[in-house]
Chains A and B, each alone.
Chain A
Amino acid sequence: MGLDIRVPIGLMFALLGVLLSGYGLVSDRAIYAKSLGINVNLGWGLVLLAFGIVMLLLARRR
């Protein structure tokens, strides 16, 4: 198959990660009362970004 699925997965997760962690940086602290005071947007956004980059690296290596 001509398309390596790791490329769209990598791109999508990197983009979602940037958006989510970016929002985590600018958002009001008050909204994190729901998530037990943890800035989950920033933390989880960075995890998604890292996952996206790993996927892209794996796709490049081949």
Chain B
Amino acid sequence: MTLTSIDWLLMFVYFAFVLGVGFTLKRYTRTSKDFFLAGRALPAWVCGLAFISANLGAQEIIGMAASGAKYGIATSHFYWIGAIPAMVFLGIFMMPYYYGSRARSVPEYLRLRFDEKTRGFNAISFALMTVFSSGISMYAMAKLLQILHIFDAPFRALGLPPTYLFHVSIVASAIIVLLYVFAGGLSSAIYNEVLQFFLIVAGFVPLVYLGLKDVGGWSGLRATLPTAMMHSWHGMARPETNPMGVDVFGVAMGLGFVLSFGYWCTDFLVVQRAMAADSMTAARRTPLIAAVPKSLFPFLVIMPGLIALAAHPTARATLQTTPGYAGAASISAETTTGAGLIPYKVSDTTGEIVRDQNGRPQLDYDLAVPVMLLHYFPAGLLGLGLTALLASFMSGMAGNVTAFNTVWTYDIYQAYIRPKAPDAHYLWMGRMATIFGIAASVATAYVAAQFNNIMDILQLVFAFVNAPLLATFLLGMFWKRTTGHGAFAGLLCGTAAAAVHHMSTLAEGAAPGIKGGLITVAHTYYSEMAQNFWTAIVAWTVCFVVTIAVSLATRPHPEDSLRGLVYSLTERPRDTAAAWYARPSVLAVGVLALTALLNVVFF
């Protein structure tokens, strides 16, 4: 399996346009406001598409299909119970305070609403997290491309070992993202995210079309796959009767409320896109417009996983390596068996099939999308599909980078290192932050390649830091009595509670260690997912209770300092959109109705 010139040509066109947009925008990027906030001048639909595109990194595309192959339609809970209600809540209830406060970032809102220490805690943990997660996704992508072996030909021609692909894909993607973010800042990242959004759709629609046609349509899927995989709520009454190992309460409270609201409503990576809108109404419409395609995305990103599992296993050999040309993670001949199109997981170090405790071979679910592309796409369309994969990777990375350079410059550099510099200095610092943020991500990718465990631990720590944050924002925005000391104490206790919960519980079949159970095993969950949901629930509850208790014991902020920041002290925003259908409230009702309908249809 090699690429032909038409595939390379399509990829080249994409790269040329992405860089072209960046350099065109360079002319319009004169102040730090242009660079970090896109001049607050973008229309709602542009911000809305960038809003989902920034989240639509390679990990989302690869991970959702993997989860679809593993758990089935129930994966749609991440969308229809998780993301959509949270996005509606952000647009209707939270955006007025983010946008209305004129805060330039989420940590800066915390500074205005609470105090310096709450902002510092959030800014530093967020900045580190964006760098690490962008590094980890870089690593995952480079490794994936290496396993596919489709880019090997140029390396072979140059006489280089195929492992060089790992370095080249990391460095090349880093340089491209660096160039366009360096040149045009947030507007360049957002514009390219819109472009990437359409490209991802263009690459995945034919994949789902061909795949569905091949397995005999929806009825064919239903005939092939087990019933539990074809319904979103099947067996959810009890954790032991569904593939995810969770129950209704865990899904609704853990995923639907704490994790999803926590991510979509407080993560600056996405909120920054709405803050770039040209008016309050546009800012509120941003997540609502984003919610419409988002609610349909399961058909594009989860469906390939189901199809890959159901497809007839005739041509599974696409992933076989050329004899005598084995990379570090090459796939041995034994992988011609798997489930559907999905091959077995092969160990990096030994080259043998990975088996679970019962000796059953494990499927490499992350390969669901790539094997689908190789299986169904002829030369030409294959180039488009791979470009879509690269586009998703870059939009996710650019999202992290722009969020990082803003938080670094405004919330760390301007706040603690050089407070009173001229604007041009902060613009320069933003560009420098883009360079060292990307450099740090690249370094992280290599650390991840060396020590897989360290990255797992870091991700866990950040999950602990993030889980309680939602309680802080909800109390801060909707209860004027909340104080800075209360918020800070709540965050610390919530983080600690998350850590304690994780260390004293374990998922079935997992070994004590990074997966939990470090102190003791007080409770065993049916799955890791259930354990994560409950860690989030515990962290949120502890943060909520402690914040209230400490707030009541400390002196309240004077009401004058809270105008525009808290619900009861702020004038209700009025819908000023001209057309009735463009009003935030109408959009919200519409998208919620659509999501409810989807839940019923796939019940």
Q: Which residues of A contact B (CB under 8 A)?
A: 1-3, 5, 8-9, 11-13, 15-16, 19-20, 23-24, 27, 31-32, 34-36, 38, 40-41, 44-45, 48, 51
Contact = CB atoms under 8 A, between A and B. Distances in A.
Contact of A44 (B21, B191, B381): B381
Contacts of B187: 1
B563 interface: no
A38 to B, nearest CB: 7
A41 B378 contact: yes
A34 B376 contact: yes
Contacts of A19: 6, 9-10, 13
B13 A16 contact: yes
A38 B210 CA distance: 9
Contacts of A40: 206, 210, 377-378, 380-381
Contacts of A24: 380
A35 B210 contact: yes
Given A12-B13, A23-B6, A5 B195 contact: yes
A19 to B, nearest CB: 6
A36 B378 CA distance: 10
Nearest to B27: A2
B384 A3 contact: no
Interface residues of B, number: 35
B141 interface: no
B21 A31 contact: no
B380 A27 contact: yes
B28 A3 contact: yes
B298 to A, nearest CB: 22
B38 interface: yes
Looking at A9, A38, A45, the one whose CB has the most chain B CB atoms below 10 A away is: A9
A9 B194 contact: yes
Contacts of B41: 1
A48 B194 CA distance: 16
Given A1-B28, A1-B39, A5-B46, A35 B10 contact: no
* 7 pairs of A and B residues whose beta carbons are closest in the complex: A41-B380, A31-B378, A12-B17, A23-B380, A23-B6, A5-B191, A2-B28
A12 B380 contact: no
A12 B191 CA distance: 13
Interface string B14-44: 1001001100110110000000001101100
B379 A12 contact: no
Nearest to A20: B380
Contact of A3 (B191, B202, B380, B381): B191
Contact of A34 (B17, B191, B194, B375): B375
Nearest to A12: B17
Given A2-B27, A40-B210, A9 B381 contact: no
B378 A16 contact: no
A1 B42 contact: yes
Contacts of B380: 20, 23-24, 27, 40-41, 45
A48 B203 CA distance: 10
B379 A31 contact: yes
Interface string B214-253: 1000000000000000000000000000000000000000
